[in-house]
Amino acid sequence: MTESVEPKISVVVPFFQEEDVIAPFFEELLSVLDGLECPCEVVAVDDGSKDATFARLAAVREGDARVRVVRFRRNFGQAAGIAAGFEHARGEIVITLDGDMQNDPAEIPRMLEVLEGGADVVSGWRREREDLFATRILPSRIANGIIRRVTGVNLHDFGCGIKVYRAEITRGIRLYGEMHRFLPALAADLGAEVAELPVNHRARTIGESKYGLSRTLRVVLDLLTVRFLSGYATRPIHFFGFLGLPSFLGGLLMLLWLGFERLFLGVELGNRPLVLLAIFLSITGLQFLTFGLLAEMMARTWHESQDKTVYVVREILE
8 A C-beta contact, residue 184 and residue 121 = yes
Q: What angle do CA 42, 2, 29 make, to 5 degrees?
A: 35
pLDDT the model gives residue 1: 46
Q: How far apart are CA 226 and CA 172, in angstroms?
A: 15
Q: How far apart (Å, rounded) are the C-alpha atoms in residues 305 and 318?
A: 29
Domain-wise residue ranges, the chain: 9-232, 236-305
- Where in 83-242 does DSSP place strands (E)? 93-96, 121-125, 163-166, 194-198
73-123 per-position pLDDT tens digit: 999 888 899 999 999 999 999 999 998 889 999 999 999 999 999 999 999
CB 246 within 8 A of CB 239: no
Those residues whose C-beta lies under 8 Å from the C-beta of residue 236, and which sit 6 or more positions away, are: 292, 295, 296, 298, 299
Q: Is 85 exposed, middle or buried (0-12, 13-18, 19+ CB in 10 A)?
A: buried
- Give the count of beta carbons closer than 10 Å to the beta carbon of residue 173: 19
CA–CA separation, 6 vs 93, rounded Å? 12
Whole-number pLDDT of residue 4:
60
Q: Are the C-beta atoms of residues 162 and 199 closer than 8 Å to each other? A: yes
**CA 263 → CA 152, 199, 216, 271, 282, distances in Å?**
52, 73, 55, 16, 20
- Closest C-alpha to 39, from 91, 88, 84: 91
C-alpha to C-alpha distance for 315 and 318, rounded to whole angstroms: 10
- Closest by CA position to 189, among listed 251, 235, 232, 135: 232
Instruction: Please state, as a whole number, how many other Cβ atoms lie within 10 Å of the Cβ of residue 24.
Output: 12
Instruction: Report d(CA 125, CA 140) in Å as an integer.
Output: 12
**pLDDT for res 30:** 96
Give Cβ neighbours of residue 226 (< 8 Å, ≥ 6 apart): 150, 151, 179, 182, 185, 186
* pLDDT at site 210: 56
| 161 neighbors 96 (Cβ within 8 angstroms) | yes
Residue ranges of the chain whose pLDDT lies below 50: 1-3
Short-list 48, 120, 46, 59, CA closest to 85? 46
- The whole-angstrom separation of Cα 201 and Cα 130 is 6
Specify the CATH number for 9-232; select among 3.20.20.70, 3.90.550.10, 3.40.50.1970, 1.10.274.10: 3.90.550.10
For 279-302, write each residue's pLDDT tens digit.
999 999 999 999 989 988 887 787
β-pair partners for 42 = 11, 67
pLDDT of residue 209: 61
Closest CA to 103 of 125, 82, 86: 125
Q: Using CB atoms within 10 Å of the CB of residue 124, give its burial: 0 to 12 exposed, 13 to 18 middle, 19+ buried.
A: buried
pLDDT score recorded for residue 312 = 60
